Structure 1
């Protein structure tokens, strides 16, 4: 603890307690050792004491917003230095770990109202600066500076750190004395594009995904993603690490023991949040300790009951294994994440999908319902032509047209014909064909065995979907140019045919699991947002209204993406090890990125594209859903248009005309860089907005916020509730469908469950899967949800946007009530399904932990 404060032990330096004409301020910060996590003894205590902050250790200088200094390039005049003084113990606004200090600035007539302050840290260690508040500034009132930034020793910076007040200015409206400071701060954030980045730096720059593999061996070599028409990809944050000697196009990777030294701009790094750091250590533990230590397990589950034992009893460890793993993990990790009692390890919480009904997942209704209300609800499309066709090049892949016949479907359509069903918008398809076919031959040459799949479904009168047929396809054995070999499987409830049908659904879900993780989740949220994070920090000043609008929706995204490149999506990482696409995972997502369009990231545009909605001017939002009971779309549209209204209110306050958008130099530079550099491989897409009017800016910001918050929540926080039961969402298939006359077929008829288990994800990879997605599905203790901000109530000084933000929060509370009511309405069967699991993934708020609900502001895990 700090020493007690009394007149006898407070050093008096100079004249700091002569308050004469002084401006009083309060500085809130957190010390580095408060933020560090000692995994063996929890958070370390503060031991440095109060005295080290006295004198000239930390100094601040006010910068004028009204008076320029001609001797300093006409920049705002800089006041005298002031130092931190009394340690405040009773400030009510402080949160855990924060400390507050008073500071007194000399009143200087030629400074006037300050618009910024300069801070210099002369101590040997960094600290996290939360805020500065000037109290009752003459003729002005309180002035707030929201900082939320790491301050390293002054020797680490080329220029002293500067922070601006919470005023918001378009570039053309910036007070003249602050213009140069505004420009210089952006220049420092851009850097010069050279050198290896250091921990304390704040430089935002771009790089391709050239750090996933290690060219020292063929097995670990991966292509560079980004910068070519063959492998287009969004850009990531540049680290500047040296290139490998084997391949100068590939950046060297960090060793496993250096996982946490991967560079991201310092304020993007975990460290201000204990729980986020803890989750990061959990991922590292899975990658480095749990995953390599599972060779003691039998390869296969013996029964469905043994799978359920993961939640009911846990896994019995052989002698010596626990101590081996414990040597690599801290006691706190073992206890809090892996729940060992010293005898068993990895006793998982029961996933929601089997909490009420342990066998409901096996039904056709649940299989189909999860396409509308599961963890990957944005892929199903309305079938508009029959038979389904492929977009693959027929010169390379031959005829890839579906082999499903009308007769096969119509026997289960209750007298309805295919043509009638298409006309009446009753047929739907989950299509996992084109993305996998180009890679399927290579995938099947490994230990995995898989099919491309097409699943056709019928919309029933009760609003639920009924699977009609599953087509499983493989490349022709004589060559790709000869097209495909297909098997069509129809629903069955008894005999060996029912076992075959359950396997057919499993092959579909394996494909869906891969597409979900690598495309719907990673590519379409994590990867595509990172270029906007970089461009915003490089081109939009913290004074800019669009920076203030978007900043909360970028929190921790660069850091979690960097961690993913290190342990999740890298060569040999957790995803490659446990998902069907294996070493081709990121490469396949690159091929799919070729068709990515920013315009289609709006939920209404996406629904229209997939035929799941139609334009309808009479509807409140201008579109009408084809399936009324589509939980993801129903709740999602409410959230999407709440975001849109908030953004519209906000943007309209700062931009009174379209001309103001066109004339905003920072905004134009931001958008040009985001499109032409951040998404360089897609820059020629004609659907990009031109950023020439307020409507385009509103649409752009709405899409960025939707993807960063609600879309990510919809595809992330259901991972464990649905996928934590591996039978429901397997990630691998290892055997082809048994054929009649083979021993495998005989085994299937005698013990279908055992064949199912031998086909899907094996036991060791299931443990890795579950350990990972349980971590990734949790909400942290310091999470900020949509409608909240992590920069407090003073993020802007403008009353109108503050009131609009309050209305946004109230609208989200209203949406929560509507979701609750819908989930209680029995007519909406897709909101619960046979598993009796309510759809809450787009319920805006949440408690801490594994809740299956809640929309955080950003992609923070």
Structure 2
């Protein structure tokens, strides 16, 4: 028996709403086409509370049909669906932005709305694969709101009186979109099945809503054969961009379809093409549903860009370039800087911006890219920008920085001769009294600048620095040799200590240029410190360890020491592992280059002191080691991590030639990760499961790196100003990249084995046996490394069941090949690049990348203020060499060792500026996302991947509990004891602020 199928809906709201729908017609909601106009209006008014039913309701056949009459043509089976769109609004807007928002709402009311379109995973065999045309000025169908003839002209008049400067734009909008009402804009013919475009409902009605997140809806009616929605297109016909957080499409038999967006959608005046957002279901390239294949390819093509022209801030393209924008040669030769990237100075590639070339240079290819000075925006893909909450935190830090640095800058400008600390009490007063100065100085300042007193009285709380943890538990901890050695294992930079495997240590530099390679440290220097062992016995028993910064500094020392206020050595420090499991320093070697090539060079060896004078010489030698360590920490291990926090602080508290700051950046994490991030966006679809895994670990990195080029690593920038190498910092970074960086040794186990700190041992839980059992960085790091490794193994196993699956994944292989061949072009022919041929290869590669962006970054970043905020413990630069007996400065050291020691460290202004920055760098924001967390619960629709993610989160929590137990174990003397800080830098969770713990997903 034939039957007719009506337009079927199920209620979004239970109870009375559903009953009302049934009372209006034969089904939940009757078909609008067969109703009078009056009934159609009634039906339209109830559509917001209706959705697709689980199955169609079959109504009895008409009486005529039962009597044998010819049945009428059956109505097409139509289902209704609704898209729920969550838009995130700006928290704070200026007057102009608020006016534009109101104008957009007003235009939306008269038809200039945001349009959505559903794209099926299935193709329409009746349509040729032709792309959808851009929107035209034809009738707009299905847009709710009053007809244009009923437009409130009195409101327009009132609006024009309040904002006359917007009147031309308003009438332009009215003229352009007059009569633009109707039911849906027909989508252009294309391969996939597409719904008609439908407008978001409620933009005008919710224009005054104060919530951060506002939900809008769009209604769709599609044929029952439409299939499952696999993509949504969004066309923004408003005046300005808006941020789409998520879209949920309800009403299909397959259940709700989730679309995680987190993206800015540009208006059509910027980009006439609609934005495409894919479902949260992951698809390997070969498994892409037919209806999404062309869209997947087109979206990747859009993200690659054309490699030409200057990028606009609103663009989304990702591409590569060399670091040729660090200098400003048009201002003079002293402002020029070498290009990083190429045969002469190899370096990873950065994000291309396409800015015009400078005028200086004989040939076009010799000209550098022009600079954009902060605060002018520098290009990154629009979605790489900081979120508003992060920017608010940085603004608060900038205000604090301004207050912190006002008084020292004032002091240096009024009285340059008192810019040094007179004694340690001056350093201590930074934490006790803030920047309240000596009365004599106050009087001098008050006579010249009367408002200084008022600033100090009203801002004393903000002017006082928090006491760093290193002196909070023990004021004199920094002076102790055991603490100096402990920080090599559990400090800010615990990744450079290595086991000494041959004695004496030797250099790998060319002896024809740098002289004999052997160290000046002899057995006679250290034999008394080995607890009765010979040097050979100590080597065989794995008891000798070393910090070796000799080779990375020595080639640059002549140029470094020729700069004003910069003095450095190439240092080596030997440690002995005691029976208690702690280290003690037994010798420090300070080296200078030879006066001429091949000649004997200056090498001085210091050993633990025997008297007062040798004690201060020893303290100066340790300070130079710490300065070397700080430079390598920033330029090699931690090259521009957390630059995110520096930028506003720097611009608030220093001018172009102001004193130095700490950049806090990481070659191994940021510069070397940037090519992998760029390649991921260019070669892997958002639907790709590996892209979904990597996404939280790529957050903010490109923006941080772009800002770093703008103000941190540029000529006369923060790095050059803040560290001893000065203008040669980035050349040293290139040297380290060429000589030291290898991706196959960036994972924690490989790094520990390379440095001789561990040996392979299959019987151990992590497959390694540490030679220093209480090595907090390594023991805690292996906990997190193992958790990340198992997570990557489990996740990869969900999608790749054979070697062929990895090898045949075109997007995956293109991602890795491009990152190596283009992103790391200067090392592309190296034989050590890991292969990507098996699921095991892939899991290993992903484990390394996730480790670098999360746990290792945390270990190198969030202890900076707690350990480095007290400058004598870890000076970022040195201003004096260690005087030898007979030197004029030696008498000054003997006469006043405290003052001489502090005069070798950064000045008052340099110190307070440095402290201000690392205070901000060490701070967790309130919206931090930590390891094991995914704030978006709908990041994937794959149950197996979600189950693996939950197990990973549980393992991370267990690791944190184990770290807490270790910190309470008194047998672990490198993390527990009188005046000893617990090692919590790899404890995964943290609250906001300076906590000296917490492992965010990304750097």
Using the size of structure 1 for normalisation, the TM-score is 0.91
The match for 1:250 is 368
Q: Following TM superposition, by how much is the alpha carbon of 1:505 offset from its aligned partner in structure 2, in angstroms?
A: 0.3
Counterpart of 2:531 in structure 1 is 414
Cross-structure match for 1:34: 91
Contact kept, 8 Å, 1:287 with 1:567, in 2: the verdict is no
- Matched with 2:426 is 306
| Distance of 2:94 and 2:638 partners within structure 1 | 29
Deviation for aligned residue 1:565: 1.4
Which residue of 686, 693, 703 maps to 1:559?
703
Paired residue secondary structure (1:482): coil
State the secondary structure of the residue aligned to 2:260.
Answer: strand
Describe how 1:560-575 pairs up with structure 2 within 5 A: 560-575=704-719
* Residues 348-359 of structure 1 aligned to structure 2 (within 5 Å): 348-359=465-476
Looking at structure 2, the residues matched to 161 and 585 of structure 1 have their Cα atoms a distance apart, in angstroms, of: 42
- Separation in 1, partners of 2:839, 2:547: 37
Pairwise CA distance, 1:593: 0.2
- Residue 813 of structure 1: how far off its partner (Å): 0.7
Distance 1:37 1:280, change over 3 A: farther
Does the 8 A contact of 2:105 with 2:204 survive in 1? no
Question: For residues 663 and 283 of structure 1, do their structure 2 counterparts lie closer, same or farther at Cα, with a shift above 3 Å needed?
Answer: farther
1:770 counterpart (906, 910, 915): 915
Q: Which protein, 1 or 2, shows the higher relative CO under an 8 Å CA cutoff with sep ≥ 6? A: 1
Matches of 1:636 and 1:583 in 2, distance apart? 34
Deviation at 1:374, TM superposition (A): 0.4
Q: Note if contact 2:108-2:204 (Cα within 8 Å) is conserved in structure 1.
A: no
Which of 435, 441, 450 lines up with 1:315 in the alignment? 435
Q: Which residue is equivalent to 1:744?
A: 889
- Aligned pair in 2 of structure 1 residues 813, 322: CA closer, same or farther (>3 Å)? farther
Structure 1 residues 75-84 or 432-441, which shifts more? 75-84
- Deviation of the 1:45 alpha carbon: 13
The one of 619, 642, 660 aligned to 2:805: 660
Is contact 1:580-1:731 (8 Å) kept?
yes
Q: 1:141 aligns with which of 232, 239, 255?
A: 255
User: Distance between the aligned counterparts of 2:113 and 2:400, measured in 1?
Assistant: 38
1:279 corresponds to which of 379, 391, 394: 394
Distance 1:652 1:383, change over 3 A: same
Shift of the 79–642 alpha-carbon distance from structure 1 to 2, 3 Å rule, reads: same
Question: Residue 623 of structure 1 is aligned with which of 768, 779, 786?
Answer: 768
Give, in angstroms, the shift of residue 381 of structure 1.
0.2
Cα distance, 1:274–1:399 mapped onto 2, change above 3 Å: same
Mapped pair 1:105 → 2:220 = yes
**How far did residue 47 of structure 1 move?**
6.3
Conservation of the 8 A alpha-carbon contact between 1:568 and 1:574: yes
CA contact 2:869–2:915 (8 Å) conserved in 1: yes
Q: Which runs of 5+ in 2 are unaligned?
A: 1-40, 51-78, 131-189, 437-441, 640-666
Report deviation, 1:723. 0.9
**Deviations 1:2-26 (Å, cap 9, x if unpaired)?**
xxxxxxxxxx999576467521221
Question: Which residue of the other structure, out of 576, 579, 589, is the alignment partner of 1:458?
Answer: 576
Is this contact kept in 2: 1:315–1:345, CA < 8 A? Answer: no
Measure the CA separation in 2 of the matches of 1:677 and 1:821: 46
CA–CA distance in 1 between the matches of 2:763 and 2:928?
38
Query: What SS class does the counterpart of residue 476 from structure 1 fall into?
Result: coil
Q: Which residue of 2 aligns with 1:525?
A: 669
Query: What CA distance in whole angstroms lies between the structure 1 residues aligned with 2:378 and 2:350?
Result: 13
Q: How far apart, CA to CA, are the structure 2 residues paired with 1:833 and 1:218?
A: 54
Larger deviation, residues 191-200 vs 276-285? 276-285
Task: Look up the SS of the partner of 2:200 in the other structure.
Answer: strand
**Aligned partners of 2:411 and 2:419 also within 8 Å:** no
The total of aligned residue pairs comes to 825
- Structure 1 pair 234/409, CA: closer, same or farther in 2 (3 Å)? same
Q: Find the aligned partners of 1:609 and 1:28 in 2 and give their Cα distance.
A: 49
Match of 1:68 in 2: 124
Cα distance in 1 for partners of 2:97, 2:900 equals: 46
Distance 1:512 1:45, change over 3 A: farther
Within a 5 Å distance, the mapping from 1:330-479 to structure 2 comes to 341-342=458-459, 346-447=463-564, 448-477=566-595, 479=596
Bigger CA drift: 340-349 or 109-118? 340-349
What is the CA-CA distance between 1:481 and the residue it aligns to?
2.3
Which of 116, 119, 123 matches 2:234?
119
Alpha-carbon separation, structure 2, partners of 1:593 and 1:658 = 32
Q: Which residue of 2 aligns with 1:633?
A: 778
Q: How far apart are residue 480 of structure 1 and its match?
A: 3.6
**1:588 counterpart (717, 732, 735):** 732
Taking the aligned partners of 1:406 and 1:96, their CA distance within structure 2 comes to 71
Any conservation in 1 of the 2:112–2:238 contact (CA below 8 Å)?
Answer: no
Q: Secondary structure at the match of 2:335?
A: coil
TM superposition shift of 1:287? 10
**Distance change in 2, residues 1:476/1:16 (3 Å):** farther
Select the residue among 494, 513, 522 that pairs with 2:630: 513
* Separation in structure 2 between the aligned mates of residue 472 and residue 667 of structure 1, nearest angstrom: 48
- Taking a change above 3 Å as real, the CA distance of residues 653 and 344 of structure 1, as seen in their structure-2 partners, is closer
SS of the residue 1:377 aligns to: coil
Residues 745-824 of structure 1 aligned to structure 2 (within 5 Å): 745-790=890-935, 792-824=936-968
Residue 264 of structure 2 corresponds to residue 150 of structure 1? yes
Measured against aligned partners, the alpha-carbon deviations of 1:278-316 in whole angstroms (never above 9, x if no partner) come to: 427856996998697663363201111211211211113
Local SS of the residue matching 1:72 = coil
3-state DSSP of counterpart to 1:638? helix
Distance 1:551 1:88, change over 3 A: farther
8 Å Cα contact 1:88/1:99 also seen in 2: no
- Please give the per-residue CA displacement for 1:170-221, whole angstroms capped at 9, x wherever unaligned: 0000001100000000000000111111111111111111111111323221
For 1:325 and 1:163, locate their aligned partners in 2 and report how far apart those are by CA, in whole Å.
55
CA deviation string 1:150-188 (max 9, x = no partner): 011022225210000101000000001100000000000
**Range that drifts further, 61-70 or 445-454:** 61-70
2:980 paired residue among 825, 836, 840: 836
Give the equivalent residue in structure 2 for 1:7.
none
Distance in 2 (CA, whole Å) between partners of 1:182 and 1:717 is 39
Give the aligned CA root-mean-square deviation in angstroms.
Answer: 2.9
Q: 1:453 Cα deviation (Å)?
A: 0.5
Measure the CA separation in 2 of the matches of 1:42 and 1:303: 52
Among candidates 265, 287, 292, match of residue 178 of structure 1: 292
Change (3 A) 1:292 1:302: closer
- Bigger drift between 286-295 and 564-573 goes to 286-295
Task: Indicate the residue corresponding to 1:605 in structure 2.
Answer: 750
Aligned equivalent of 2:198, options 75, 82, 86: 82
Query: Which segments of 5 or more consecutive residues in structure 1 lack a partner in the other structure?
Result: 1-11
Asked if structure 1 preserves the Cα contact closer than 8 Å seen for 2:930 and 2:1000, the reply is: yes
Return closer, same or farther for 1:280/1:670 CA change in 2, 3 Å cut-off. Answer: farther
Contact 2:83 2:218 survives alignment (8 Å): yes
Q: Give the equivalent residue in structure 2 for 1:547.
A: 691
Q: Which one has a bigger Cα radius of gyration?
A: 2
Single out whichever of 769-778 and 312-321 deviates more from structure 2.
Answer: 312-321
- Of 70-79 and 456-465, more deviation after overlay is shown by 70-79
Please report how far the alpha carbon of residue 715 of structure 1 lies from its aligned counterpart in structure 2 after TM superposition: 0.5
Please state how far the C-alpha of 1:343 moved relative to its aligned partner: 5.9
Are 2:702 and 1:646 equivalent residues in the alignment? Answer: no
**Aligned counterparts, 1:179-194, within 5 A:** 179-194=293-308
Mark the CA change 1:53 to 1:710 in structure 2 (over 3 Å): closer, same or farther. Answer: farther
Once the two structures are superposed, what CA deviation does each residue of 1:422-479 show, in whole Å capped at 9, x if it has no partner?
00100000001000000001111112121110000000000100100000011122x1
State the SS of the aligned residue for 1:64.
Answer: strand
> Hey, what's the Cα distance between the residues in 2 that align with 1:213 and 1:293?
29
Are the aligned partners of 2:512 and 2:597 in contact in 1 as well (CA < 8 Å)? Answer: no
Cα distance 1:293–1:565, how it changes in 2: closer, same or farther (>3 A)?
Answer: farther
- The answer to whether 1:700 aligns with 2:845 is yes
